[in-house]
């Protein structure tokens, strides 16, 4: 697939952070960030147990390539785990999901909406290469003492 994003294609998914919308103390914000980091590590290491640990039971996962090609939504933790297993079984190289520029759009005691840029790298061919850029929009819920990802939207600027 050769779809490439036009400038601003993901604006409807990326939200700015108005002052006063984040009502979560620094420890809570760090816990949310750690959940997202564990999500990325689980993808990178093909670790379904770790991935299951950060996803809510009824989580949804949707992807778009430059607003033109859609994948999903995949509904429920089991469906997302099946998707990840299928995708990682075909990989022969090590990929890294680098989440950068995390922005809290909204946060309170039991809900957080966070956007982050994605730089997906690969070691295929023996040297590190950026194979895709894009962004994530996450909705997380706090229950039973931990943050879980309830909704994932990944927008890729190009096909990986």
Query: How does pLDDT run across 41-80, given as a tens digit for each residue?
Result: 999 998 999 999 999 999 999 999 887 778 889 999 999 9
Residue 142 — pLDDT band, cuts 50, 70, 90?
very high
55 cis-preceded (ω within 30 degrees of 0)? no
How far apart are alpha carbons 109 and 29 in whole angstroms?
Answer: 10
Q: Model-level pTM?
A: 0.88
Average pLDDT over residues 4-24: 64
Higher pLDDT, 59 or 18: 59
148 pLDDT more than 90: yes
Write out the two tokens for 129.
């290469």
Specify the pLDDT at position 15.
61
Higher pLDDT, 139 or 70: 139
Q: Please provide the average confidence, as pLDDT, over all residues in the chain.
A: 87
Write out the two tokens for 106.
């909204």
100 pLDDT more than 80: yes
Specify whether the CB–CB gap between 115 and 14 falls below 8 A.
Answer: yes
Higher pLDDT, 137 or 125: 137
Specify whether the CB–CB gap between 85 and 98 falls below 8 A.
Answer: no
């Amino acid at each position: 697939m050769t779809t490439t994003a036009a400038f601003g294609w993901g604006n409807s998914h990326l939200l700015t952070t108005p002052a006063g919308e984040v009502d979560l103390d620094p420890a809570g914000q760090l816990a949310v960030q750690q959940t997202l980091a564990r999500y990325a590590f689980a993808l990178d290491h093909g670790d379904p147990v770790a991935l299951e640990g950060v996803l809510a039971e009824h989580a949804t996962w949707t992807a778009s390539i430059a607003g033109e090609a859609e994948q999903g939504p995949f509904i429920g933790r089991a469906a997302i785990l099946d998707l990840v297993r299928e995708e990682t079984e075909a990989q022969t190289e090590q990929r890294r999901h680098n989440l950068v520029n995390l922005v809290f759009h909204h946060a309170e005691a039991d809900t957080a909406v966070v956007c982050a840029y994605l730089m997906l790298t690969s070691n295929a061919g023996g040297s590190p290469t950026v194979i895709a850029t894009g962004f994530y929009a996450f909705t997380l819920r706090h229950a039973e003492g931990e943050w879980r990802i309830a909704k994932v939207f990944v927008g890729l600027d190009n096909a990986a």
